Structure 1
Amino acid sequence: MSETRYFLIGKLVNTQGLRGEVRVIPTTDFPEERFRVGSEMYLFHDSLPQPLKLEVASRRTHKGFEIISFKGYPSINDVEKFKGGELKVSEDQLMELEEDEFYIHQLVGCDVFTDEGEPLGKLVDVLQPGANDVWVVRGERGEILLPFIDDCIKEVDVGNKRIVCHLMEGLL
C-alpha cells in the first residue's frame, strides 16, 4: 500500500480575533475552492503526532489572507496551538486541471531539452516571483532559469517527464 502524499495549500500564520478564526497565507491557485465552507484539509504541525483533519466552518478574505474557522474549534483557545502549521490536501483531493496546466509536483524531476535536442538537465524547482513562473533547471551547464512563457516553453509531457524549451537569447 502506498503512502498518502500531501500538497501544501496554505500556511497558518496567526489567529484572528477571539472566535476561533485563523489567518492563512494561501499557497494555492484555487483559494476560493480550497478554503470554501465545508472543504476538508489536513493540518501539519510540529506539536501533532499525525496530520489533523479539519473542515472549514467559515471563510472570508482580508488583506491577502484567508480568514477561516474550523468546525469544532469555536474559540481562540482552540486554535492558538495551530499557529505555524501548514494546511495540506491529499493527492486524491487535487483538482482536475486544464490541458496546458500542471501541478508543480508533476514538473519537478522532468528532463529538460532544447528544441534542438540538447539535454539541459532536470527541472528542480518552480519559482513564482510575479507575472510568470520561472522554472529552475540544473544540469552540466549549472543552473538555468526558464521563464514559463510560450516563447520559451514549447512542450510539456508530464507523463513521460519531458520538457522541451527554446533557449531565448540571454538565458545562458
Structure 2
Amino acid sequence: MQKEDCFYLGKIVKKYSFKGEVLAKLDTDQPELYDNLDAIFLEVRGSLIPFFVEDTQLHKSELLRIKFEDVDTEADADSILKSGLYLPLDLLPKLEGNKFYFHEVIGFKINDKNFGEVGTITAINDSTAQSLFVIDRNGTEILIPMNDDFIKKVDRKAKTILVETPEGLIDLYLQG
C-alpha cells in the first residue's frame, strides 16, 4: 500500500498497558467511526506496514485505545510508539455539500464571486492557525484562508470551489 493511496488517521502517542496496548490520537472530529477497524497501516521507518487489530476502545473521547495482534509487550509497544496511522482512501466517509478533505480538492479551480477565476489549488497549507488554499494563478501564488464564511459552493463534478473573499484580498497578491 502506497502512502498516496491512504489518508492520515492519527498517531500512536503512548503505551497504555504492559500487554502492548497503545493510545492513538486521531486526527478526526468523529473518532467513533474508527472504533471497529480490522487493520491499520502503521508508518514504520518510512514504509506502511499492515497491523491487524485485536481490539479498540474509545478512551477519554479523543484517544483510541488499540490492541494489535502480535504486539504483546511493552517493548513491542515501544517499537511502534510515535508511528503514524493510515487507512486506505476508500474508507473515508463521503463528505457532502461544502465539506471536503484536503487531498480531494487539489487541482480544483477557485472562483471568487467578485473577482472571477482565481486559479488552481496546488496545495493546502495547514501549518498555520488557519488552513489556507494555495492557488497558482499563472505562476503567482495566492493564499486564501479556508474560512467557512468564504466558501460558498464546492462543486465536485465541475471540480470548482466558489469563494467570496474580502474585497482586495486577491489583488494584494497581483500588485507587483
Q: Deviation at 1:90?
A: 0.6
**TM-score normalised according to structure 2 size:** 0.75
**1:69-99 CA distances to partner (integer Å, 9 max, x unpaired)?**
2234232222221122111111222223344
Gaps of 5+ in 1: none
Identical pairs, percent? 22
Matched, 1:96 2:94: yes
Amino acid at match of 1:145: I
Gaps of 5+ in 2: 171-176
**1:87-141 CA distances to partner (integer Å, 9 max, x unpaired)?**
11112222233444322211222121111462323332053877xx633233345
SS class of match (1:106): helix
Greater Cα offset, 16-25 or 94-103: 94-103
Matching residue of 1:6: 6
Q: Deviation at 1:18?
A: 1.1
Q: Distance in 1 between matches of 2:147 and 2:100?
A: 12
Contact 2:51/2:68 (CA < 8 Å) preserved in 1? no
Q: Which has the higher helix share?
A: 2
Contact 1:10/1:26 (CA < 8 Å) preserved in 2? yes
Q: Distance in 2 between matches of 1:170 and 1:47?
A: 43
1:38–1:17 CA distance, 2 compared to 1 (3 A): same
Matching residue of 1:147: 146
Matching residue of 2:71: 73
Q: Deviation at 1:55?
A: 1.6
Please show how residues 31-110 of structure 1 align to structure 2 within 5 Å: 31-34=31-34, 36-46=35-45, 50-62=48-60, 64-110=62-108
Matched, 1:135 2:132: yes
Amino acid at match of 1:118: G
Alignment root-mean-square deviation, CA: 3.0
Contact 1:43/1:54 (CA < 8 Å) preserved in 2? no
**1:28-81 CA distances to partner (integer Å, 9 max, x unpaired)?**
2331111x1444321121175x52232251323248433322234232222221
